[in-house]
Amino acid sequence: MTSHHDPTDDVFVVERPWGDFRQFTTAEPVTVKMITVLPGHRLSLQTHAKRSEYWFVIDGPLTVTVDGDKRSAAAGDSVWVPVGATHRMANEGTEPARLLELGFGEFDEADIVRLEDDYQR
pLDDT at residue 5, rounded to an integer: 59
Torsional sign, CA 14, 8, 39, 51: positive
Report phi then psi at 116, rounded to 5.
-145, 140
pLDDT at 2: 44
Given a contact cutoff of 8 angstroms between Cβ atoms, the answer to whether 13 and 21 are in contact is yes
Yes or no: domain 7-116 corresponds to CATH 2.60.120.10: yes
Q: Which residues of the chain have pLDDT under 50?
A: 1-3
pTM of the model: 0.83
Please report the pLDDT score of residue 8 as a whole number.
58
